[in-house]
Structure 1
């Protein structure tokens, strides 16, 4: 069910859909055969890892239920190669040019016909719903993030009409639909005196689960007793997704960039940079600092800024982007290890928005692949040691063509970026208060055959978080808490 109020389907439409399904099936078979013929003669196709791709059933199984980004990530994981090192003769474990970009292209061609009509219907309905979402809804931040009352607003055209406020008097306003509670001050003494069942209680957290449980000691037992209706965190499987991408999206950077490849390369006069101020608050931060210190010993051209390094304070805002853009590599190392989806502004703002290649450590590889432009990052754990990593970076530094492969995404269309159409944060909350739940489809746990709620409703859909600690802690990676 896509629309709550859409109960009739004409026989003509059924016939069209049936014909379309037959067409897509034939197209799928033809494209797979085309792919087989294109690559069966290559030397790469003879490898043991690659032979599974020559099996139609295996290929089809990998396509079902996966978007292009997930498909690329799964393919790369199963082949265990680095597709970006095109035509390189580098002595490390980098096999040259498995055709993942072509896999993605074939996948898109196969699925395009079957999704075009549905996508058009969804876009049309979303546009119609947003145009009618003019009755102002109030999002009340009951507990601010660390006590700081940062002003927030939403784009009415993209999100519906909403006011985000800290005014607790608004709790009795009939237009109030959601209350946000930041984790750091949740207690029995800091909750509303009575609970309005029409309000969504939203749990809000942007700290890693390791920091929350191991460092701050939050068991979430009290939070589960409330209970909450929804979560608002950095995790992609949150009810409301709050990416560290922030207000400036990757697509915005692409739209604003006017640099050619040659102009961008000409700006790269420095080697590498790391900006770190948390030197040991968390176990992951201590481990990060040790790794970065080793890297700086191996290559003196890696500059360190922030409280942890002698460079001291660095620039902020557009000046940060301008200065970081002069570097070839930005070391985006997180303060937590393998915590699910914990990828911060070090990646999005400091590296990607500066058009600099991020060398990443912290989250798992598949987490980065799900949110990063295709082929844009170097995963530190792909290397057996810091020595191997630096050797590879030194190689890229001396080979412009190989280096620029990691910046090829700069020429991509904004619509090709992961999570492109997904509303985030307060925008997604505002949509939900207007009965617009279409962003559920971007959640990794979304099941189109059994959705939790319709994509569009005439009122706020019921929501509940059954076991907050189970979702936030037990569903995370064990090494997030142990290393």
Structure 2
């Protein structure tokens, strides 16, 4: 092999330097390209909710492994499109035993929407984050407990009194604290579902109004009922005895005046009375139904009430808006007071002064078992998940009412009063 000349050595060195320089610039460009890719890649949020192939939630503390479901937590992208970031499924246990198709909708103010479904299907159950047990449905407690996915929330629901709540809804004593949350008319419920409420932010009439509420009212006392049974007290017998002392027009199955239920004509006839007997069929705490809110107050009639004690009415009702039967010792005192109000328009009109400061909002049963209201269950589910993962950061206020004793909360809420009108 011959030795390279000086010119050849110089040419070789220049060629090597050129190749090295090109390779270096190319490598530097690749590094910049990788860095740019990292900068523009959407952030992937950590995931704390996973489901297996059947949709059952396994462990809230494990990382997310499902690529498809992980996309719903990419906050910036979906928020810009104004869509829910994720969904939590709420199943109402009622209706068909065949699985139904859930309907998805937003939950205003929450980071997740609701996937809402009503059926009694175990296939739906294992895919749901919460089950709302409708008290008129039936289920086997042992079987439900066996199939219950980890961390699934169970919610008790009833707007009936404990005396008329389906017996299946109250579990055996060994499952007394099986519910995570409660939905009912009781103020101590986890989620309140009242029959009505007094809205102090929206006056019904002007503060300068001077309406005579007794004008054009031709009837005295009205009562409408279809349940004539004894219940927890002798309500029907009480009304019949009162009718011997004052004029009482009785509508419905328990009365002698027939008109189509909930028809405009029927309500027109009822609202022509000065008083309405809003007497409940059960003597249970906080049990104040549409008889008070809708049949009376919303139809501009003074309700004569009985069921829970006076303090329960005062807690939720407009001030000085009702007459409570326990304020009287006997029929004589009650009848005298009715006649006094009937003869004194000023005193009668004092029962409508609350309309200057607020108005009544009716909460129908049909407004409870729908997706917008059940978003409150989604909120509880999300709160619970945050607690499990330590992601509260102080935003949750108040003490969580999880796993209440359903016997203390519900079964034991009915009372056994004495005296008038219970013992008349």
- TM-score, length of structure 2 as denominator length: 0.62
Aligned mate of 1:274, from 220, 223, 237: 223
Aligned mate of 1:464, from 383, 389, 402: 402
Contact 2:310 2:324 in 1 (8 A): yes
Unaligned runs of 5+ in 2: 1-81, 384-391
2:155 aligned with 1:202, yes or no? yes
Q: C-alpha displacement at 1:182, in angstroms?
A: 2.1
Aligned mate of 2:286, from 341, 350, 357: 341
Q: C-alpha displacement at 1:218, in angstroms?
A: 7.7
Question: Which whole-Å CA distance do the structure 2 matches of 1:158 and 1:352 have between them?
Answer: 32
> CA 1:477 to 1:343, structure 2 compared with 1: closer, same or farther past 3 Å?
same
Q: How does 1:309-458 map to 2 (within 5 A)?
A: 309-316=255-262, 321-337=267-283, 339-414=284-359, 429-434=374-379, 456-457=395-396
Contact 1:143 1:186 in 2 (8 A): no
Question: Which whole-Å CA distance do the structure 1 matches of 2:336 and 2:375 have between them?
Answer: 48
Tell me what 1:262 maps to. 211
Contact 2:198 2:358 in 1 (8 A): no
2:187 aligned with 1:236, yes or no? yes
Unaligned runs of 5+ in 1: 1-130, 439-452
Question: Which whole-Å CA distance do the structure 2 matches of 1:376 and 1:311 have between them?
Answer: 27
> What's the CA shift string for 1:433-457, capped at 9, x where partnerless?
235999xxxxxxxxxxxxxx99845
Question: Which whole-Å CA distance do the structure 1 matches of 2:271 and 2:215 have between them?
Answer: 10
> CA 1:395 to 1:228, structure 2 compared with 1: closer, same or farther past 3 Å?
same
> What's the CA shift string for 1:323-377, capped at 9, x where partnerless?
433211110011112x111111111111111121100011110111111111100
**Which is helix-richer, 1 or 2?**
1
Question: Which whole-Å CA distance do the structure 1 matches of 2:241 and 2:183 have between them?
Answer: 36
Question: Which whole-Å CA distance do the structure 2 matches of 1:256 and 1:274 have between them?
Answer: 25
Contact 1:253 1:353 in 2 (8 A): no
Of structures 1 and 2, the larger Rg is shown by: 2
> CA 1:188 to 1:437, structure 2 compared with 1: closer, same or farther past 3 Å?
closer
> CA 1:432 to 1:262, structure 2 compared with 1: closer, same or farther past 3 Å?
same
2:236 aligned with 1:289, yes or no? yes
SS in 2 for 1:278: coil
Tell me what 1:298 maps to. 245
> What's the CA shift string for 1:53-82, capped at 9, x where partnerless?
xxxxxxxxxxxxxxxxxxxxxxxxxxxxxx
Question: Which whole-Å CA distance do the structure 2 matches of 1:371 and 1:348 have between them?
Answer: 11
Question: Which whole-Å CA distance do the structure 1 matches of 2:351 and 2:400 have between them?
Answer: 44
Question: Which whole-Å CA distance do the structure 1 matches of 2:375 and 2:84 have between them?
Answer: 10
Contact 1:138 1:164 in 2 (8 A): yes
Aligned mate of 1:171, from 108, 111, 125: 125
Question: Which whole-Å CA distance do the structure 1 matches of 2:251 and 2:194 have between them?
Answer: 24
> CA 1:291 to 1:270, structure 2 compared with 1: closer, same or farther past 3 Å?
same
Q: C-alpha displacement at 1:257, in angstroms?
A: 6.6
Tell me what 1:188 maps to. 141
Tell me what 2:56 maps to. none
SS in 2 for 1:202: strand
SS in 1 for 2:410: helix
> What's the CA shift string for 1:80-130, capped at 9, x where partnerless?
xxxxxxxxxxxxxxxxxxxxxxxxxxxxxxxxxxxxxxxxxxxxxxxxxxx
- Number of residue-to-residue matches in the alignment: 318
- TM-score, length of structure 1 as denominator length: 0.55
> CA 1:143 to 1:161, structure 2 compared with 1: closer, same or farther past 3 Å?
same
